[in-house]
């Protein structure tokens, strides 16, 4: 009897094992697929990462400490353009109005507002959806300064635009001028913070005073590693002669090296159409100012290629050397050739892709490939505004053999050191930016 019970128990145990195995075979793949779908959804939806732009974070409650809001004097002028959207593509104008934030005027620094005609070509333009008046801040290739007439019925200026992370991209010139104007006319200015798409690296020369211009308006590095909110605090406290009444609406859940946060939500005119072109712009925007290089402007590959006209006959080995230098900086690249219809010539060279901009010192990469081009015997010339973009004439002097590399390097590194020590007081988010010395 006992032996029979043992056989029966063994049989039951065997059947249980088979049943459990069948459960695993049937349901485990479904569980795994469900898990993968959940993770994919999490990665696709920034809200699941608890990340919010300043625009998405702003409420009347956050504005309660602003005197104009408390006293009811809160007519708002919004400085923005087509980059002023949330993560779902909704316009900041509509979002602010839905939150009962009383926008009365829209100021457009350059280019246009979504699909409207360019403001500088319109007569008394208005926003079709809201009926709000649009005023241009763009005049004769310069950033027009807001005057008292434009601001006479405005109490608060809100600034909300996505910049490119590079000093010579003029949206931050508009930011700095707006802070100055707010100081002059005693207006409150509120900056809705956005990511720096180039991540945390600070590198390149600071602007020397004599090279101040629309494309290099303040003594900050070429690649500054800060958000526009942090830049505004630095400018207001360290550069502006008198402090404006400045408030920053911070992002939530922002990390400088986070790919989810550092997406390009809208194209950046005139030629930055993707994240990769924005990354490439960090150094090819400078190479553009050196002849005979072609960086693919007016093409789908703008700021993603380094090309020379075929007639120059730059050797395959030379291109391979350039390839190796770029690879050593983490810049993936491969051979590329295309026909430029505007110039009616074939161009050959390299197409680039920067996989991790947070670990890629693009200004150092630029210097390295320029050294190689020079050593290979390629003759190049600098445009008239090259020194303005660099912020100093010392780089051009180095390539013309007028100063040593050590003299240029010491000049840059010394200023970077002092800038970082001053700017670090105004960093809002961790991890803090880091300096890439030459």
Q: What is the pLDDT of residues 201-237, one digit of tens each?
A: 999 999 999 999 988 899 999 999 999 999 999 999 9
Q: What is the CATH number of the domain that holds 386?
A: 3.90.1150.140
Q: What is the CATH number of the domain that holds 63?
A: 3.40.50.12170
Residue 203 lies in a domain: yes
User: How confident is residue 149, by pLDDT bands cut at 50, 70 and 90?
Assistant: confident
Average pLDDT over residues 82-89: 94
> Which of 392, 415, 431 is at the close of a domain?
392
Choose between 253 and 32: higher pLDDT. Answer: 253
How far apart (Å, rounded) are the C-alpha atoms in residues 337 and 341?
Answer: 13
For the chain, what is the domain count?
A: 2
pLDDT value of position 126: 87
**What value does the mean pLDDT of the chain take?**
85
How far apart (Å, rounded) are the C-alpha atoms in residues 293 and 217?
Answer: 26
Residues 362, 304, single domain; the answer is: yes
The parent domain of residue 158 ranges over 54-249
Residues 280, 355, single domain; the answer is: yes
**Strands, E assignment, 263-375:** 290-291, 305-309, 331-340, 345-354
Choose between 114 and 36: higher pLDDT. Answer: 114
CB 306 within 8 A of CB 331: no
Residues 207, 349, single domain; the answer is: no
Average pLDDT over residues 258-266: 80
User: How confident is residue 14, by pLDDT bands cut at 50, 70 and 90?
Assistant: low
Residue 151 lies in a domain: yes
Average pLDDT over residues 288-301: 92
Q: What is the pLDDT of residues 21-66, one digit of tens each?
A: 444 434 433 333 233 233 323 333 444 458 999 999 988 777 767 7
How far apart (Å, rounded) are the C-alpha atoms in residues 297 and 283?
Answer: 14
Residues 195, 123, single domain; the answer is: yes
Write down the H helix ranges in 269-357.
Answer: 275-287, 316-328
Q: pTM of the full predicted structure?
A: 0.84
Choose between 7 and 51: higher pLDDT. Answer: 51
How far apart (Å, rounded) are the C-alpha atoms in residues 167 and 392?
Answer: 13
Q: What is the pLDDT of residues 151-196, one digit of tens each?
A: 888 999 999 999 999 999 989 999 999 999 999 999 999 999 999 9
Pairing of strands 103-108, 134-136: parallel
Residues 175, 293, single domain; the answer is: no
Token pair recorded at residue 52 = 């919010």
Residue (of 166, 217, 156, 164) closest to 191 by Cα position: 156
pLDDT value of position 46: 41
Residue 66: count of CB within 10 angstroms of its CB? 17
Residue 75 lies in a domain: yes
Average pLDDT over residues 80-97: 94
User: How confident is residue 86, by pLDDT bands cut at 50, 70 and 90?
Assistant: very high
Compute, in degrees rounded to 10, the torsion defined by CA atoms 110, 111, 112, 113.
-50
pLDDT value of position 205: 98
> Which of 356, 371, 392 is at the close of a domain?
392
pLDDT value of position 20: 46
Residue 204 lies in a domain: yes
Average pLDDT over residues 411-416: 97
């Amino acid at each position: 009897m006992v032996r029979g019970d043992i056989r029966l128990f063994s049989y039951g145990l065997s059947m249980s094992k088979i049943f459990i195995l069948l459960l695993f075979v049937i349901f485990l793949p479904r569980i795994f697929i469900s898990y993968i779908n959940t993770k994919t959804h999490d990665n696709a939806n920034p809200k699941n990462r608890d990340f919010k732009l300043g625009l998405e974070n702003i409420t009347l409650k956050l504005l309660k400490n602003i005197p104009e809001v408390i006293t009811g004097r809160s007519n708002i002028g919004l400085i923005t353009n087509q980059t002023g959207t949330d993560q779902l593509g909704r316009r900041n104008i509509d979002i602010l109005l839905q939150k009962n934030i009383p926008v009365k005027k829209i100021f457009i620094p350059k280019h246009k507002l979504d699909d409207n005609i360019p403001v500088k070509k319109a007569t008394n333009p208005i926003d079709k959806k809201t009926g709000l008046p649009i005023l241009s801040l763009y005049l004769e290739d310069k950033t027009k300064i807001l005057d008292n007439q434009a601001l006479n019925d405005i109490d608060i200026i809100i600034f909300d635009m996505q910049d490119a992370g590079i000093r010579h991209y003029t949206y931050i010139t508009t930011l700095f001028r707006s802070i100055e104007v707010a100081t002059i006319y005693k207006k409150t200015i509120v900056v809705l913070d956005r990511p720096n798409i180039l991540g945390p690296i600070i590198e390149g020369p600071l602007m020397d005073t004599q090279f101040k211009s629309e494309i290099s308006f303040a003594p900050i590095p070429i690649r500054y590693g800060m958000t526009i909110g942090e830049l505004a605090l630095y400018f207001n406290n360290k550069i502006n002669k008198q402090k404006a009444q400045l408030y920053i609406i911070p992002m939530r859940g922002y990390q400088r090296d986070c790919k989810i946060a550092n997406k390009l939500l809208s194209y950046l005119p005139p030629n930055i159409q993707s994240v990769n072109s924005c990354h490439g712009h960090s150094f090819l925007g400078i190479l553009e100012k050196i002849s005979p290089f072609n960086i693919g402007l007016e093409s789908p590959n703008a700021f993603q290629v380094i090309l020379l006209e075929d007639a120059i006959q730059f050797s395959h080995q030379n291109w391979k050397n350039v390839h190796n230098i770029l690879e050593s900086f983490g810049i993936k690249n491969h051979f590329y050739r295309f026909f430029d219809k505007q110039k009616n010539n074939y161009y050959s060279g390299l197409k680039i892709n920067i996989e991790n901009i947070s670990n890629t010192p693009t200004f150092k990469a630029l210097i390295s490939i320029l050294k190689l081009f020079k050593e290979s015997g390629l003759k190049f010339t600098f445009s008239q505004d090259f020194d303005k973009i660099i912020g100093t004439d010392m780089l051009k002097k180095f390539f013309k053999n007028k100063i040593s590399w050590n003299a240029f390097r010491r000049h840059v590194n010394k200023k970077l050191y002092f800038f970082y020590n001053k700017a670090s007081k105004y960093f809002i988010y961790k991890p803090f930016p880091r300096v890439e010395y030459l």
